[in-house]
Structure 1
Amino acid sequence: MKKVTLLDLAREANVGTATVERVLNARGNVSPETAERVALAARRLGYDRRLPDRYRGVVKIEVMMVRPDTPFFARLNQAFARIAASLDSSVVVHRTFLDELDPHGLARHIANPGFRRSGLIIAAPDHSEVRARLREAKASGVAIVHIVSRIGAEHDSFVGIDNYAAGRSAAYYMTNMLKTRSGSLVALCHSGAYDVHRERVRGFSDYLAEHGDPAHLFALVMFGLDDRLRSAEAFDGALRQCRDVIGVYNAGGANSGIGSVLERHGRTKSIMWIGHELTENSRRWLKSGLMSIVFDQAPETQARRAIDLVLQRIGFIDVEVSNEPVRFLTVTSENL
């Protein structure tokens, strides 16, 4: 291959050769935006010289998430940390956790993160102000990728499982595994703030309406904000309200709330429970028979694909990145 010259880099980055020379030799007087263009040009052209320490991390990607205390987001955070450690030295990944109950704070951070970023990967509740700030960031040239849950109806890149299919799958298993029984089915999720949960409950409801057993009544949808105590109280109330519950689908987090109620009521075998995320607790519940099925979202795969999408969008890599939904894993006591 022809050796890449300073002139090649200058043409690719749309700057002068003197600017390229200043970046490569750390002579200063170069804006972060210009240094980023030179770094991306060097990557695209296969320039093998390493950037000086001064320009390490000049390409910045931010990952905005919520709820670091939950098993899923803890796994997602760890996945992004591992990926960040393996990236080219010119790329840095900022991981930011914000309060999901403060959409105005989320919107303010999107608008003013405190540093220049090339890409933004976001998992947050859907809110009009958040949507507006994302549109502004996109218009300014920031590569936007939604992960786990879509925000609004924008046509931004999305990385996540097919949540509607997950809800339908839960109803499919429940309907077929409870064929010999009659009674009520209930569902639990965070709230209506996340598209991910709306889609799962919609899929669950649609399947039951289309293929459900007439002996099964979809009686109730509960909202627990993915909080253990709130979810436990909501489910406990549902069992008092519907004495014939035979199945519960937890479309959100806070599986521990469901588990505590089932154990306290001694309903470990009489109610079929389907939930999300393979954790130490859900492994234990599957082994004991308290839980029937777990759908795992493979957050590690989601993190890798989200990073790759941003890198592709900003021209750092030129390989195709799949836009297909990430496959969720169906886990039972037999394939732990």
Structure 2
Amino acid sequence: MNSPTIRDIAREANVGTATVERVLNDRGGVRTELAERVIKAAKKLKYGDRRLRPHSGIIRIEVLLVQPQAEMFYADLNATFQRISASLDPTILVHRTFVREDDIAAIAQHIAKPPIRRAGLIVLAPDHPKITESIRQVRMSGVEVVQLLTGSAGEDVPYIGIDNYAAGRTAAYYMSHMLQGRSGTFLAMCHSGAYRAHRERIGGFSDYLTQYTDDGHHFRLVIFGHDDNFLSAERLTQALREDNRVIGLYTVGAGREGIAAALNAHPAKVFWIGHALSQGTAKCLRSGLMDICIDGAPETQARRSLDTVLRRLGLIDVDVSNAPVEFLTITAQNLSISI
């Protein structure tokens, strides 16, 4: 088979050969939309090993992350996307945008009408009808979209993440078995009801206990800490004071420092299962305050979400798994010394 030519690329991209020549040689003066088509066509046809200069960034993929993003999973995702983007073909620019979690209208507006053109979009945002509708509109316009932490926009918008329901059931399995023979109540804490992932985790936790626990364990309460350390400490402390039979706590969001403070001040040991490995989580595991951490492998989620977008754009031809990302169960015994 003959090697593809500029004419082949022009035919595939439905542009003139002069446009192809300008794009491949990075001479500028070509609309971004046309340049995208040329790059996609060249990669699809495997046009040699030419690479545009690093500043080009013709194909933009936006990663939309909610704030607060400074703790645990969100911060890990941010750092991972930054690291991976540096290794990509220089024609591809990964642009990270941070939005306020509580401004639903602004999130939906940014998704629907971004200030920059983009070929792909990766979204981590709360579940809300306005946000879901904006994602669907963007997908219908031809932008390749994936969702992290939740999958609310339909089958044509892939969800990249762990099986959250299974994670909740796993937490309940470990907690009920390791507290076998002790009767008492279990609590759960999450950000709020804003994230489907959190609802699914607590649903799995509750369902397992309902189905399999007959050892005097009772799931009593879900506490909303909104990932705020002060609020988490205050509400958990109140719950522990109101029920002196609490023996287990499952936390699915952030607010770790506040949770740790409340448990340290509590006179009795509470079996604690949390999510997202970090230096702070590792400290809690080593001290014995936290017993198990379920980690969602943010590095894998970031890599797979980018690969999914690139594959759907036709920029890579490798198969990308659509199975749930495998989560890790971490204790003080298998904790890496580097963390």
Question: Structure 1 residue 2 and structure 2 residue 9: aligned?
Answer: no
1:257 matched to 2:258? The reply is yes
CA–CA separation in structure 2 for the residues paired with 1:55 and 1:80: 18
Q: Contact (CA 8 Å) 1:35, 1:55: kept in 2 or not?
A: no
How does 1:1-336 map onto structure 2 within 5 Å? 2-48=2-48, 50-53=50-53, 56-66=56-66, 67-153=68-154, 155-267=156-268, 270-336=269-335
CA distances 1:116-155 after superposition (whole Å, capped 9, x unpaired): 0000000000111111111110111010100122235554
Q: CA deviation at 1:8?
A: 1.3
Distance 2:76 2:92 in 1: 22
Q: Which amino acid aligns with 1:123?
A: L
> What RMSD, in angstroms, separates the aligned Cα atoms of the two structures?
1.6
Q: Would you say the 8 A contact 2:52–2:91 is kept in 1?
A: no
Is contact 1:124-1:151 (8 Å) kept? no
SS of alignment partner, residue 321 of structure 2:
coil
Matching residue's letter, 2:250: Y
Using the size of structure 2 for normalisation, the TM-score is: 0.95
Shift of 1:309: 0.3
Cα pair distance change 1:187/1:56, threshold 3 Å: same
Check 1:54–1:299 CA distance in 2 against 1; reply closer, same or farther (3 A cut): closer
**1:52 shift after superposition:** 4.7
CA offsets 1:207-230 (integer angstroms, 9 cap, x no match): 011101340111101101111111
Counterparts of 2:264 and 2:13 in 1: how far apart (Å)? 62
Give the whole-Å Cα distance in 1 for the aligned partners of 2:292 and 2:55: 48
Kindly indicate whether the alpha-carbon contact (under 8 Å) linking 2:144 and 2:313 is maintained by their aligned counterparts in 1.
yes
Letter in structure 2 aligned against 1:300 = E
CA distance, structure 1, for counterparts of residue 166 and residue 54 of structure 2: 47
Aligned-pair distance for 1:266? Answer: 3.3
SS in 2 for 1:133: helix
CA 1:115 to 1:172, structure 2 compared with 1: closer, same or farther past 3 Å? same
What are structure 2's unaligned runs of at least 5 residues? none
Is the CA contact 1:126–1:152 (under 8 Å) kept in the aligned structure 2? Answer: no
Q: What are the superposed Cα offsets for residues 265-317 of structure 1, whole Å, 9 maximum, x if unpaired? A: 233xx210000011112112111211110001110110000000000111111
Q: Where does structure 1 lack aligned partners over 5 or more consecutive residues?
A: none
Aligned with 2:248: secondary structure?
strand
Spell out, residue by residue over 1:183-208, the C-alpha distance to the aligned partner (whole angstroms, 9 max, x if none): 11010001110001000000001101
Is residue 26–residue 54 contact of structure 1 (8 Å, CA) maintained in 2? no
Q: Aligned partners of 2:287, 2:301: CA distance in 1, in Å?
A: 29
- Does the CA-based 8 Å contact 1:159-1:305 persist in structure 2? yes
Map Cα deviations across residues 27-60 of structure 1 (whole Å, 9 max, x no partner): 5442111111101111122223535549821100
C-alpha distance 239-54 of structure 1, shift in aligned 2 (>3 A): closer
Contact 2:181 2:215 in 1 (8 A): no
Q: Measured at CA, do residues 212 and 155 of structure 1 come closer, stay the same or move farther in structure 2, by a change above 3 Å?
A: farther
CA contact (8 A) 2:133 2:153 kept: no
What's the secondary structure of 1:86's corresponding residue?
A: coil
Amino acid aligned to 1:164: Y
Q: Is the 8 A contact 1:188 1:224 kept in 2?
A: yes
Could you tell me the TM-score, scaled by structure 1's length? 0.95
In the alignment, the residues of structure 2 paired with residue 129 and residue 207 of structure 1 have an alpha-carbon distance, to the nearest angstrom, of: 32
Query: Partner of 1:319: helix, strand, or coil?
Result: coil
Which is further off, 24-33 or 249-258? Answer: 24-33
